[in-house]
Amino acid sequence: MFTGIIQDIGRIRRLQRKGDNTEFTVYSDKLAHDIKIGDSVAISGVCLTASAVDSRAHQFIVTAVSETLQRATLGDLTGGDRINLELALQPTGRLGGHFVQGHVDTVGRCSAVQQRAGSWEIRFDFPQEYGRYVVEKGSIAIDGVSLTVYDVKPTKFAASIIPHTWESTTLRLLKTGMRVNLEFDLLAKYIAKMTGLQTTNTITLDRLREYGY
């Protein structure tokens, strides 16, 4: 379990295909010394397991299986690419973002980046069948970053990025047309399941009140 609060921007040092899987060697000056073999690490929002760690070289190795490569943007990565990194939440830690599992639901696409007075606005497109999970002022993890969405449409939403998040994550590297990993709010997914919402429905505040939330 993660929070969507990015702890470091890492870098892909090497990729190696192993059958249908891909092994990533990741450099992280801040986190490599805290990672042990078997630990969960969120790589741009994807939960992977550290299989080797070299703290002296500030690097660790994770492997993404075929299903993960197809569902997320990890298959787009090349050597030298920067990635958002977060270690698993500790029970004694503060939950600064929202509960993030590291299980990417789908891939979205950046449709616009615009600088505002003191912030940046990024707009995203996503597949319509996931619209039931997106609610105005709700939470979403974009490449592992916990953000609040607004201006929600059936296949679009926007998010504002404050300077700290802009400087501390790879969101500042986004350009129009680039793909991003999307994980929708865990609560929204459970509510949709329990209330039997169909793929053509969306969660709204009125709909939540109707079901007693």
Range of the domain at 157: 106-210
Q: Is 57 part of a structural domain of the chain?
A: yes
Residues 185 and 131 in one domain: yes
Residues 117 and 201 in one domain: yes
Integer Cα distance of 172 and 160 in angstroms: 12
Q: 186-200: string of b/e by CB count within 10 Å (b at 16+)?
A: bbbbebbeebebeee
Q: What residues pair up with 141 in beta bridges, in sequence order?
A: 146, 183
Domain count of the fold of the chain: 2
pTM: 0.88
Residues 51 and 15 in one domain: yes
Q: What is the pLDDT of residue 48?
A: 98
Q: Is 93 part of a structural domain of the chain?
A: no
Residues 71 and 129 in one domain: no
Residues 32 and 128 in one domain: no
Residues 34 and 121 in one domain: no
Residues 144 and 72 in one domain: no
Residues 31 and 112 in one domain: no
Residues 123 and 200 in one domain: yes
Q: What residues pair up with 147 in beta bridges, in sequence order?
A: 140
CATH number of the domain that 30 lies in? 2.40.30.20
Q: What is the pLDDT of residue 200?
A: 45
One digit per residue, the tens of pLDDT, for the chain of length 213 reads 899 999 999 999 999 999 999 999 999 999 999 999 999 999 999 999 999 999 999 999 999 999 999 999 999 999 999 999 999 998 777 778 888 999 999 999 999 999 999 999 999 999 999 998 999 999 999 999 999 999 999 999 999 999 999 999 999 999 999 999 999 988 778 777 777 755 445 555 565 556 555
